[in-house]
Structure 1
């Protein structure tokens, strides 16, 4: 329909009537379930290796393809779907860490092909340390935001942030780097186990709903989260709603 300046009556009718706008929301599964699953798997494998529970110097070239796809690509996809779910926390955290694991996977691919020399994780490595600075700041921001949701998710990001903060020791020289990375690895291990627990809760809640079995998988939702309805208004998005699976 075209409007011409000479058709004053039509212009006035168009401007005065209420706009007919309809918003359709496409239901999707919680992206955080996939993101946390990818994070838990990749972080547990890598951190147990850094903690020297197993493996040899050549182990990363074998396990990092899985880490890059499951923990990297899987998380990255989950983070992008966080946009559709109107979940800023999921988007930022999982795109951030998904990008990290894919990037590390590329580094080990280049190392395996001989394009880059091998670089032990327990020595001075300022280039990787600069990544840890970015990861640290945004992960702490995510931990603060998660404190308004549930304590398990908050703990996942808090232990992850602590370990990543310690990992900034890669800027240093000497034996302290190896000690610091091993300490960071244990915080990452705890974070990965808690992430597995949170994913289990997503699966149990979807499978059994309000069944009493859910009580055996506590995540300690905050009072603020409990007060929210199943669908809550989107922040900064007038007229858009955000679905919150598991909230009753």
Structure 2
């Protein structure tokens, strides 16, 4: 999850963060948006003079990626936390979100971060987009993943599946720890996001390895907190000085800021 824009985030361009540009048209076409320089009022000229080079303006993809991550995490975490639902089946509800919003949309946000030159944001969004798509694929029959855990009696071997999911979640725990370390000079909102996400993955991994409902429910609670922090970071990126009458606090951790 890349770093959201906050009004008090004065990170330099090369630091972790977003390139929050002023809103406007996708291209800078010069005076009056004409696309060509016609000279003085364009009078008497049958052919335009050489056009000024177009300067492409890319919007900040951070809030989109954070919102996609937040909503999908929130729904799944409610399920993990219990929320009065049967824990044996409701994860199917999140499959559509995982594939399209948390997966595809977040992956696209990561690709757009590449275009802005934000390596951290591109790595985080593209990776977690892949996480959500791979998670959703587990519950889609066409992929045949769950069928691979069927026993000789035709029933799902829940113990073996839980161990496999534990390894799967452990890998994402390690990756999240890497991003937590890499975000240490960003801002408080981003560091908080990866810290709570790391704890979430730790608890969910432990829940699968130990078949512990308590750990899984605790992971769901921390996941809900993680989702709320991600939404806060997304809102920080949307409420800029150029687009809002107020901004949200998000203290910078960059000592040079």
Shared fold per TM-score greater than 0.5: yes
Is the CA contact (8 Å cut-off) linking 2:166 and 2:208 kept in structure 1?
yes
| In 1: Cα distance, 2:142 partner to 2:79 partner | 18
8 Å CA contact retained: 2:204, 2:219? yes
Residue aligning to 2:61: 31
Does the C-alpha gap of structure 1 residues 208 and 109 become closer, same or farther in structure 2, counting only changes over 3 Å? same
State yes or no: 1:43 paired with 2:73: yes
- Quote the RMSD (CA, aligned, Å): 3.0
More helix per residue: 1
Q: Please, which of 100, 106, 115 is the counterpart of residue 75 of structure 1?
A: 106
Is 1:140 the counterpart of 2:170? The answer is no
Cα distance change, pair 68–54 in 1 and its aligned pair in 2 (3 A): farther
1:92-107 equivalent positions in 2, closer than 5 A: 92-107=123-138
**Residues 123, 170 of structure 1: 8 Å contact kept:** no
Does 1:88 pair with 2:150? no
- CA gap of 1:222–1:26, structure 2 versus 1, over 3 A, is farther
2:239 to 179, 204, 211: 204
Return closer, same or farther for 1:26/1:115 CA change in 2, 3 Å cut-off.
same
Q: Give the equivalent residue in structure 1 for 2:45.
A: none
Aligned counterparts of 1:199 and 1:67: Cα–Cα separation in 2: 19
Unaligned runs of 5+ in 2: 1-53
Q: Which residue of 1 aligns with 2:18?
A: none
Residue deviations 1:89-132 (CA, integer Å, cap 9, x gap)? 11221122111111111111228999736969999612222221
Question: What does the per-residue CA deviation read over 1:49-82, in whole Å, with 9 as the maximum and x for residues that have no partner?
Answer: 1100143344332332123211111111111222
Using the size of structure 2 for normalisation, the TM-score is 0.67
Q: Report which stretch shifted further, 144-153 or 40-49.
A: 144-153
Normalising by the residue count of structure 1, what TM-score does the alignment of the two structures yield? 0.69
CA distance in 1, matches of 2:146, 2:84: 26
Give the unaligned 5+ runs of structure 1.
1-23, 228-248
Secondary structure of 2:185's partner? coil
State how far apart, in whole Å, the 1-side matches of 2:157 and 2:235 are.
34
SS at match of 1:125: helix
CA contact (8 A) 1:42 1:70 kept: yes
What is the CA deviation profile of residues 148-169 of structure 1, one whole-angstrom value per residue up to 9, with x for unaligned ones? 1110111011100111122221
